[in-house]
Amino acid sequence: MYLLIVILFINFFISGLLVNFFQLILWVTVKPASPTLYRKINYYCLYSLWIQLVFISDWWSSSTCSILTDDKTWEMMGKEHAIVLMNHSEEVDWLMGWVVCEQSRLLASSKVFMKKAMKWVPVVGWTWQFAEIIFLQRNWEQDRLPMEQQLTNLADYPDPVWLLMFAEGTRFTPSKHEASVAFAKKSGLPPLQHLLVPRTKGFLLTLQQLRGKIPAIYCATLAFNMKEGAKPTLKSMLLGRRVIGEMLLERIPIDEVPEDPAKAALWLHENYHHKDQMIDVYKKEGAFPASLPSKHFEGPIRAHYRPRRIWSILIMMFSSYFTLPPVFYALYTLLCSGIINVLLALFFVFGVMFGLYKLVGLTRVSSTGSTYGETSRNKSS
């Protein structure tokens, strides 16, 4: 199993470098002349790489993410620009978001806010740079102008784009939750049980820049069935363990969010309070409520799920055909040609394993990662 995981990573890394090289050529030659053409071609570059990660969820581990919504919202998904407002509770929230994007045929058109430290991570960070992802330093004074510029670009995309937004700004941990509760009490807000109090400044700027340019906000509340499925971590998926996610999705026209900044901030807090209540119900009863009193659901709420597409398997086979034989041949040659070359081969293998370990580590919650509390909020809330 571990050898197969290493092989998957070798394929991802080498094919990613090839994709990055082609993206660099496009960036230098096509983008200055026609940003629209660049984005259309780059879509397929992005898809060929990100689908390899979705492959781990869809086929390698047979993980699923069903979407609970009304039929009209289900039909609209993937046909319009939108902000997707998600909770950030578990390690693979981002991957489940991508699974939903793939079901909506928008995998390569999904955008996120990403911490600037990720910008120079080989393959992953480089690909995000070519995808015009918004990198943040988590300092409001430094982040405001880049956010404004990049958000303006999103509305110019010729095809539908989803901006996946984790308004909490960081992933849930007990210590961050404790700071969140203290902040809520101090600010006169209702404390949340399962989520962190959302940061409002980034959301308000996003709303300001995209209002009138995109039609809707998709409020996505994600929870995981850990009674029938594995713990929602990337390690679980890589080991072939099935993760079961369920997403309650509500489409809200963006014009319904107040234009006044104070009222819009209150709207965001109320939205996350609602998410918190839904997750509480899910944790206690094992399912989201069968019906909700909401004017945005037109008809009954039911589970929707599109079958896994064969494209991920075909792309994995195609990329492996070109990347793996040269690597294995080079390793074989090194192993058969003296002790120094054997050591080089072993160094390569252990380097790949270390790279895989670091990649998995990027998805974990780190006690020394982003801070959460009053100090950080003074900078970027």
Higher pLDDT, 153 or 279: 279
Task: Look at residue 139 and give its three-state secondary structure.
Answer: coil
Select 2-319's CATH number: 1.10.760, 3.30.1300, 3.40.1130, 3.40.50. Answer: 3.40.1130
**Taking 90 as the threshold, does the pLDDT of residue 278 lie above it?**
yes
**Taking 50 as the threshold, does the pLDDT of residue 247 lie above it?**
yes
Each domain of the chain, given as residue ranges in start order, spans 2-319
pTM for this one?
Answer: 0.85
DSSP state of 108: G
DSSP codes of every residue in 6-31:
HHHHHHHHHHHHHHHHHHHHHHHHTT
Over residues 304-321, the pLDDT tens digits come to 888 888 988 999 999 988
Long-range contacts of 131-134 (CB under 8 A, 24+ apart): 131/42, 131/46, 132/39
- Mean pLDDT for 184-210 is 91
DSSP codes of every residue in 198-224:
PP-HHHHHHHHHHBTTB-EEEEEEEEE
- Mean pLDDT for 332-358 is 71
Strand positions, DSSP E, the chain = 64-69, 82-86, 110-115, 134-136, 162-166, 216-224, 244-253, 302-304
Over residues 23-43, the pLDDT tens digits come to 999 999 999 999 989 999 999
